[in-house]
Structure 1
Amino acid sequence: MAKILVVAEHLDGKLNAATAKTVAAAQALSPEAIDVVVLAADPAGVAAEAAQIASVGKVLTIANAANAHAVAQVQAPQVAALAKNYTHVFGPSTTFGKDLMPCVAALLGVNQVSDLMAVEGAHTFKRPIYAGNAIITVEAPADQIVVATVRTASWPEAAKGGSAAIEAASVDAALPAHTRYVGLAAGKSDRPDLQSAKRVVSGGRGVGSEENFKIVYSLADKLGAAVGASRAAVDAGYVPNELQVGQTGKIIAPELYVAVGISGAIQHLTGIKDAGTIVAINKDGDAPIFEIADIGLVGDLFAILPELEAAL
């Protein structure tokens, strides 16, 4: 029977929703046990949140001042040491997971399964390739630990209501001195996080300028939504690159996605195809975005968005 270790993602003492989605993928294996590990300087608060996720048996905490910041090269030896008691180690396919999990796989001497989107068996999984245009089935060796990143856009959040035991874990791992945390440069926003937001409003090249992007921010504020952008809008300098949605940006699956002035290049569509409801607003009725949109509105976004705001 499978025994799965899920690496928790957290920031500022709060558990990221990606962790519950990773647990949902673990549940699909019908394992003997699902444990969550929290690495932090003070893991108590995050561990209490993780303990509430349904089907989690234990929450293991590794308290270490070196874990105050998520540095993959520091955390990977600790996860790898703990992983030897498990058949599978899962992490979210977010920036955090994409940084950490390959290091864990390398330390364990196994190949990583990336972007796990469906479970066929204990060692058989499906993942997207070619910008999501094809799905392949991959089989991991049965005699090795499976290290995988979970495509969070393909999984719902596992339910709450659990009451897992919280245990302090000790690992015998030498932490590297060649990699250390120096500082973090990050944009600050009062809006919801793009990767976990239930509603997202994105703007594209059709918005026209950085100044014009205010109309997108305004609609997002009315909806309580996060703001995203196409690569064309980022490349044109309308918005910073952390807002980019798509194959080379963030893969998201909000309940509502509003695409404003976005034509719908395949790289962008890859990032939103798992969204619940897709609304497209574009003056070009032949834009590819309308092929996948649930609701399409052909017209001038500078006339339509103020009307939408007034109605809201």
Structure 2
Amino acid sequence: MSVLVLVEQLDGRVKDATLATLTAAAKLGDVVALVAGSGDAAVQAADAVSKVAGVSKVLLANDPAYANLLAENVAALVVPLMADHDAFLANATSIGKNVAPRVAALLDVMQVSDIVAVESADTFVRPIYAGNAVATVQSSDAKKVITVRATGFEKAATEGGSASVEPVTAPGDQGKSRFVGAETQESARPELTSAAVIVSGGRALGSEEQFHALIEPLADKLGAAIGASRAAVDAGFAPNDYQVGQTGKIVAPDVYVAVGISGAIQHLAGMKDSKTIIAINKDEDAPIFQVADVGLVGDLFQILPELTEKL
């Protein structure tokens, strides 16, 4: 079967989540990557994804209408292309979750969301109940529309491919939405969803000042990204971009350090696939210790400064 994959890129660099989605797509059949963007960044992304192992062809829609991947515009681009493809895959990110349902509705098919494994061409595995159970689902639709959880698949190799890049006719701006602006935070630290090490803080840190004073030095020593529980974000200790959990970002780093996080189901759903989980909490009965590989019971206000100093 032929699989069309929506590529997410930033300044010409293919995002790690897309590399994982390309791996999932390769389990289904022939992989065709769709780069929708504007200007040099789109061209650079198309060139980059053409080198990814397993990609057979790259379709490039270079038009100002796709500069910010507005869902209405991208869906109108994807649907005509699906006449030549059997499945459409997108990342289970804010962009993918915005585009895929529109594509599914326009094709009049059901969507299979957030898959973590491919059993066959029509059968997939996805988490349910905040990750406490997994469901095996089968789709009988002729066209499959799927979003992929990046933590469920290895990233495709960025070298080894030699796919051709072909321009596609773009329907352009649909006039249904417009991009107003974006507020982003620049950081020298790794991106949260692709970091090898993450240090996350919870409500037990007590204040925004304590959060930054204790978490940032440890993260700097470890070269880590910074995360936070929903409770910490709701309390104003950390920005929304830091939130890890079912309603935040799904991560699976090599090392996840949970500081002052009790381990609510909402948070565990976003980080329990981490390879090594280190929990620091004064409550020895905290649920976080049930998933932790290493647990340290004690006062984080004493432990963190000492740990940071010894690293």
Deviations 1:116-169 (A, max 9, x none): 111111011111111111111111115x21010001111111123223323233
Partner of 1:97 in structure 2? 96
| Residues 1:169 and 2:167 are matched in the alignment | yes
Equivalent-residue separation in structure 2 for 1:197 and 1:250 (angstroms): 12
Matched to 2:6, the amino acid is V
Equivalent-residue separation in structure 1 for 2:154 and 2:310 (angstroms): 31
Report the 3-state secondary structure (helix = DSSP H, G, I; strand = E; otherwise coil) of the residue aligned with 1:212.
helix
C-alpha spacing 1:16/1:249, structure 2 compared with 1 (3 Å): same
Partner of 2:266 in structure 1? 267
Structure 2 residues without counterparts, runs of 5 or longer = none
Deviations 1:274-310 (A, max 9, x none): 1111110111111110110011111111222122222
| Residues 1:160 and 2:141 are matched in the alignment | no
- The CA RMSD over aligned residues, in Å, is 1.4
Equivalent-residue separation in structure 2 for 1:174 and 1:127 (angstroms): 34
Deviates more, 1:163-172 or 1:297-306: 163-172
- Given candidates 34, 38, 46, the residue that maps to 1:37 is 34
Matched to 1:300, the amino acid is D
| Residues 1:189 and 2:197 are matched in the alignment | no
Count of aligned pairs between the two proteins: 308
Partner of 1:202 in structure 2? 200
Structure 1 residues without counterparts, runs of 5 or longer = none
Matched to 1:102, the amino acid is P
> How far did residue 61 of structure 1 move?
0.9
Equivalent-residue separation in structure 2 for 1:291 and 1:172 (angstroms): 51
Deviations 1:29-75 (A, max 9, x none): 3x1x1111111112211112212221111111111111111211111
Equivalent-residue separation in structure 2 for 1:240 and 1:299 (angstroms): 26
TM-score by length of 2: 0.95
| Residues 1:257 and 2:256 are matched in the alignment | yes
Are 2:90 and 2:96, in contact at CA under 8 Å, matched by a contact in 1? yes
Partner of 1:48 in structure 2? 47
Equivalent-residue separation in structure 1 for 2:9 and 2:299 (angstroms): 41
Report the 3-state secondary structure (helix = DSSP H, G, I; strand = E; otherwise coil) of the residue aligned with 1:84.
helix
> How far did residue 174 of structure 1 move?
6.0
Partner of 2:304 in structure 1? 305
Name the structure where helix makes up a greater proportion of residues. 2
Alignment of 1:47-196 (within 5 A): 47-142=46-141, 144-171=142-169, 173=171, 175-196=173-194
Matched to 2:31, the amino acid is I
Identity of aligned residues (%): 50
Partner of 1:276 in structure 2? 275
Matched to 1:217, the amino acid is E
> How far did residue 172 of structure 1 move?
5.7
> How far did residue 259 of structure 1 move?
0.2
Alignment of 1:237-252 (within 5 A): 237-252=236-251
TM-score by length of 1: 0.95
| Residues 1:19 and 2:2 are matched in the alignment | no
Equivalent-residue separation in structure 2 for 1:164 and 1:5 (angstroms): 17
> How far did residue 205 of structure 1 move?
1.0
Deviates more, 1:184-193 or 1:264-273: 184-193
Equivalent-residue separation in structure 1 for 2:206 and 2:149 (angstroms): 32
Alignment of 1:212-231 (within 5 A): 212-214=210-212, 215-231=214-230
Deviations 1:221-245 (A, max 9, x none): 1111111101111111111122111
Equivalent-residue separation in structure 2 for 1:95 and 1:218 (angstroms): 30
Deviations 1:169-211 (A, max 9, x none): 3236364112111211223322211112111110001111100
Equivalent-residue separation in structure 2 for 1:216 and 1:172 (angstroms): 46
> How far did residue 213 of structure 1 move?
0.7
